[in-house]
Amino acid sequence: MAASHSRSRRAITIGAWLFLAAACGLTIAARLSITVDLAYFLPPAATEQERVLIDRLGQGPGSQLIFATVTGRDRADVMARSARLAAALTGSPLFTQVLSGQEELTRESIPDVVWAHRYLLADIDADAAGLRRALQDRLADLAVFSGDEFADVLAADPMLAAMTVMERLAWSTESTLPDWTGADGRSAFLITQVAAPAFDIGAQAEAMAAIHAAAAAVDAAPATLNGVGVYGVELQHTIRSEAQFRSLLASLAIIIVLLVAYRRWRITVLAVVPLALGALAGIACIALIFGQVHGITLAFGFTLFGVAVDYPLHVFSHARGRHPQEAIRAVWPTLRLGAASTIIAYLSVSLAGSRGLAQLGILSSVGLLVAVLATRSLLPLLMTPATAGAPRETGRSSTALRPALRHGVWIIVCLIGGAVIAAQGSIWSNDLSTMTPIAPEKLRRDTQLRMALGAPDIRHLIALRAPTEQAALEATETLAAELDAARNDGLIDGYRVVTDLLPSHRTQLRRRAAVRAIDAPADIVRLAVDGTPFRADGFAPFTAALASTAEQEPLNAIDFQSSALAGYVDAHLAFDGERWTSFATLFGLTDPEALATLLRERYPDATLVDLKLASQALVLRYRQRIQVVLLASLALIIVFLIVRVGWSARLGWIVGSLTASMLGTIALNATLAAPLTIFNLIALVLVAGLGLDYGLFMSRTEDDAEQAAQTRHAVLVCVGSTLLAFLILAFSSVPILASLGTTVTIGVALNYAVATLGARRRGQTGTRR
């Protein structure tokens, strides 16, 4: 009867877990999508500067640009190739702009919306004297330019209003015309502006594929691509293949360790069960709460709760010669303590202030909770008494074994670690680029290309906020007047603002009124042409344009949305659902301090934003917050342990050993590897979680020598598998994975060294009994 009762309870438990797994799987499949938006891992902005920084991430000045380099025999050859490639890409919806530096100044080079509204977008002197002056200039132009295309433009727009607008938007300032060919004349550059933001890796990959395909089709292949989006795509590719390769290797290593330690296939398979259930539950939780999970959350989440693979190992090591339920009872109090403390630490990560870290904390703590519960309730049911092998010992001792805890070890390590950290000075990196895992040399190449092609300053921009679109545009026009003065003073070479393309309604209506005031456009042309070599009947398209201007409604930002200029508008004018922000991009800024002062004095509504300083401040504040949260969680864990374990020398030893290995890890990491980033800090949380487990098990009082040996065996297997897995990661070519691997490898080794050296068991050197 008892046997059948326990059999049905077993069926119910296994059934319940299966149901949970299925429900989690369905939730994930139905709701979850993956994002790679870096903003997920940034905290809310505290200042206007940080707000601009976060807002402009991935769509800042020029971050949507892909620079294509084509090579060839000589200058003429490369220019021809780049022109063919530009022609092949122009008109693709993937790109808002394609420039090869060879765009002829023709009507076709001017977007329709600008051409149709040219007399709302640029000032003209719409009287006979003004037209006459313009025609004198055009005569001088005809001394240099020629051809029907130019005549077509002249006839419709003798003031060249449309070209004036386009020239205002051009890449180069007058003094810095870009060099479109490399110094040796064997390479030429092409600039494409991708419609999608830089962090949309899928769209960036599509754009890259389109460029490569077009290059092959017009005999301009191979094209070398550069740009923030390109690096993102390459990186995702590398990370994906690296992560697959490294995790396969790591899994193999863990399997080998488990096989060597337990010599049973079944054990190796069972070890995965709590981990898999935890992963499913954790991700399902994220799917329910957030709907979207960040790629980094997934990668780091799995890493963090990889500690859960240790839980079944403790059970297995203690199951030799015991019934599985008995083995659980032998490890459960310690396991529970370790898991609860680690869950506190992981949960604290979710308070660190960004959506990404909130996800990370929830994913790993929920995963851990479910894994430890599965270890407790499900694992013994799946184990048979034979699973862990035959008992090695028959007799049992009745004397409890208390380890001798040596406090000297952790004190010495603490002192050395602390001294190294103190000597090191700054051990933290405040560089936001450490958050984007793009290799520094790629970023340098990107900067070089931007400078060579006269792209705007990517470090500074001016931001100006207003409640409505029109208020933003009018304020921008005032700002532009101040920036003109700054340019005349030599503070900047040039600037670009949204009103270079889209003036305020006020300005557009003033221009329309001036055009409406013209009585008879044809008479003006006749008067202006008199006494010049121009034909009076050549300018019918111009008078027609004046007539249609008089009927036009002023343009809004939305009117550019389907044109090639959408990118320009978006880069300079943003609406966050509440307020409008206008951005001025700057060229040749030499003295930011002087410009900031000038703005403060003359136009305090506008802020000069230093994106680099803002990002450093942001990262610093972020890291300090994470540090505070982690220290608070450490304090909470200590309180929790005091409650559970009691105020004792053991507690002092556990906390001391943990502190020692953390200090030692930070010291070694900062000395041997690189300044620490936020991701190293997260890795340290894992090190702490593992260290706590080792400390708890190594310091606990055992029933007998057999059990003591089993505990040491379990800890050794845990250390061995973790060490191997993260050592493999430490050799990754992806910096972020390598730094994670390095930190955890150092940390685990130190954890183990401090714990074993610090806890010797009496009589251990003699017989096992």
Partner 1 sequence: MISGRRTDLALLLTALLLLSAAGADTPDATPEQAAAIVGSIVDRIETPRDTPIPFVEQRTSRLLTEPLTLDGEIWFAADGTLSKRIGAPFDEQVTISARRVEMRRNGKVRRLSIERRPDIKAFYAGMQALLAGDVMALYSAFDVAAATDADDWRLELTPKDGQLNRFVARLVISGTGSRVRIVRTEQPGGDWQEMSFAPAAD
Binding site for partner 1 (CB under 8 A): 74-76, 79-80, 83, 100-105, 136-137, 139-140, 142-149, 151, 154-155, 174, 177-181, 533-535, 538-539
The residue (of 137 and 605) whose beta carbon lies closer to partner 1 is: 137
How far is it, in rounded angstroms, from Cα 60 to Cα 157?
34
Minimum distance from residue 91 beta carbon to partner 1 (Å): 16
Is beta strand 404-405 parallel, antiparallel or unpaired with respect to 573-575? unpaired
In the bound state with partner 1, the residue whose beta carbon lies nearer, of 76 and 639, is 76
C-beta of 100 vs 677, nearer to partner 1: 100
- DSSP class of residue 557 equals G
Least Å distance, CB 528 to partner 1, is 13
340-362 core/surface letters (b: 16 or more CB in 10 A; e: else): bbbbbbbbbbbbbbbbbbbbbbb
Find the shortest distance in angstroms from Cβ 122 to partner 1. Answer: 16
Rounded least distance, CB 165 to partner 1, Å = 16
C-beta of 185: minimal distance to partner 1 in Å?
9
Cα atoms found within 13 Å of the Cα of residue 695, Cβ hemisphere only: 34
Q: Which is nearer to partner 1, 102 or 325 (CB)?
A: 102
Contact 260, 5 (CB under 8 A): no
Judge contact between 708 and 719, C-beta under 8 A.
Answer: no
The answer to whether the bond into 222 is cis (omega within 30° of 0) is yes
Smaller CB distance to partner 1: residue 78 or 718? 78
Asked if 342 and 689 touch (Cβ cutoff 8 Å), the reply is yes
Q: Which residue number, 538 or 588, has a Cβ lying nearer to partner 1?
A: 538
Q: Which two tokens stand for residue 689?
A: 């979680």
State the nearest-atom distance from the C-beta of 456 to partner 1, in Å.
18
* Sign for the pseudo-dihedral over CA of 261, 267, 269, 275: negative
Nearest distance from C-beta of residue 130 to partner 1, angstroms: 16
d(CA 337, CA 289) in angstroms, rounded, equals 28
**Which C-beta is closer to partner 1: that of 139 or that of 419?**
139
- Give the nearer residue to partner 1 in terms of CB position, either 137 or 576: 137
Name the minimum Å distance from CB 669 to partner 1.
50
Residue 340's closest CA among 90, 696, 622, 663? 696
Q: What are phi and psi of 453, to 5 degrees?
A: -95, 10
Local structure of 701: helix, strand or coil:
coil
CB of 90 to partner 1, least distance (A): 13
What's the closest the beta carbon of residue 571 comes to partner 1, in angstroms?
A: 22
In this complex, which beta carbon is closest to partner 1, that of residue 542 or of residue 679? Answer: 542
Compute the least distance from the CB of residue 168 to partner 1, in Å.
Answer: 14
Beta bridge partners of 34: 293
Write down the least CB distance from residue 680 to partner 1, Å.
48
Residue among 302 and 587 whose Cβ is closer to partner 1 = 587
Q: What is the largest CA-CA distance in the chain?
A: 123
- For residues 662 and 739, give the distance between their C-alpha atoms in angstroms, rounded to a whole number: 16
Nearer to partner 1, 1 or 183 (CB): 183
* Residue 534 φ/ψ, nearest 5 degrees: -75, 150
Least separation in angstroms between residue 450's CB and partner 1 is: 18
For residues 391 and 323, give the distance between their C-alpha atoms in angstroms, rounded to a whole number.
10
Closer to partner 1 by Cβ: residue 93 or 533: 533
Q: Which of 62, 147, 183, 7 is nearest to 572 (CA)?
A: 62
**Cis before 197 (ω within 30):** no
**Could you tell me the CA-to-CA distances from 161 to 121, 124, 154, 166, 554 in Å, in that order?**
8, 7, 10, 9, 16
Reported as type and span, the H/E element at residue 585 is strand 580-587
Q: How far apart are CA 18 and CA 691, in angstroms?
A: 32
Q: Which is nearer to partner 1, 100 or 581 (CB)?
A: 100
Closest CB to partner 1 among residues 537, 591: 537
How far apart CA 108 and CA 421 sit, in angstroms, is 64
Sign of CA dihedral 735, 736, 740, 743: positive
Question: Of the candidates 654, 649, 659, 189, which has an alpha carbon nearest to the alpha carbon of residue 445?
Answer: 189
Q: With contact defined as beta carbons under 8 Å apart, do 391 and 636 qualify?
A: no
Residue 167 Cβ, how far from partner 1 at the closest point, in Å?
Answer: 9
C-alpha angle with apex 189: 609 to 209, nearest 5 degrees? 90
Q: For residue 695, what are the CA distances in angstroms to 257, 341, 371, 742? A: 21, 12, 20, 21
